[in-house]
Amino acid sequence: MSQTIEQKSIDNFINHLWAEDGLSSATLEAYRRDLCLSAKQLAPIRLEEANLKDLQQLFAHLSEQNKAQATLMRLQTTLKRYYDYQCKIGLRENNPTALLGQRKLARRLPVVLSPEQVANLLEAPDYKNNAIGLRDKAMLELLYASGLRVSELVNLPLDALLLTDGVVRIWGKGNKERLVPMGEEAVAWITRYLKIARPNLLQHKMSEMVFLSTRGKKMTRQTFWYRIKHYVQLIGIECEVSPHTLRHAFATHLVNNGADLRVVQLLLGHADLSTTQIYTHVAQARMQKLYQAHHPRA
């Protein structure tokens, strides 16, 4: 009986997030996982009835299990929103996370490829006589030219490509729309892919997606990650590279070349400028390394 009430409470909250914020299914599932983990750790105390002491013990227990600080921060954010909702609908009078204290995560700068490394990666696919290689080339070019999230890339529908205007229409987090320039190079490769490779991959099937798998279906994030991993190994890049690394490279190279931070924020689809400011730290770190490497008094 207890579990049924608890699960219903979680379901109601997830439905509220979907209706109010229009969050993606992946984000909603992350919220659900956090709440189910909390409910499991708090048992036999019900999640919706937990107090400050219960939550302090919960985080102490998770810390003892060596949960990453980032995981604990995300969990605290999830619980704060959950209890805010409980207060809003009148099931609680207070939010027990209010006195937990603010958890801080040490700032870690993202791995950023140099322009030369990016150029090598973009040239890695065998795109001359290979449909898969041409598809991968078009995807990599678009990813670096526009800074898309990998989920935005693999879920890109045909009608989002405005090739004549050189822009792509993206529905990002919270279902917010933004128009992002693609650049002439990416437009050229996407046009070539659509004309030559996509019909080959489609195999007389129907699909509204731009990028297709070898079976003519929508590409998955995992498949594209493996393709990038393959090319990284092929050209001998030693650092860890993921699809998100090209998004970081896109933003960092713009900032390094003088782009306004608010423009970069709009291109990336960040809701908060503070999220974009990480790239100013990346640029400063790069300048410091260059100074130490080349200045005679460094």
* Catalytic sites, residue numbers: 149, 173, 244, 247, 270, 279
SS3 category, 255: helix
| Beta bridge partner(s), residue 122 | none
Distance CA(176)–CA(85), nearest Å, equals: 23
Dist CA 94 CA 83 (whole Å): 8
Pick from 107, 104, 105, 58: which is nearest to 79 by CA? 58
Q: How far apart are the first and last CA of the chain?
A: 68
34, 28, 16: which is closest to 79 by C-alpha? 34
- CA 110/CA 127 separation, integer angstroms: 29
Order of strands, edge to edge, in the sheet holding 167-171?
161-162, 167-171, 177-181
Sign (positive or negative) of CA dihedral 168, 113, 26, 226? positive
d(CA 282, CA 271): 20
Distance CA 124, CA 173 (A): 31
Measured CA to CA, the distance from residue 217 to residue 212 in angstroms comes to 5
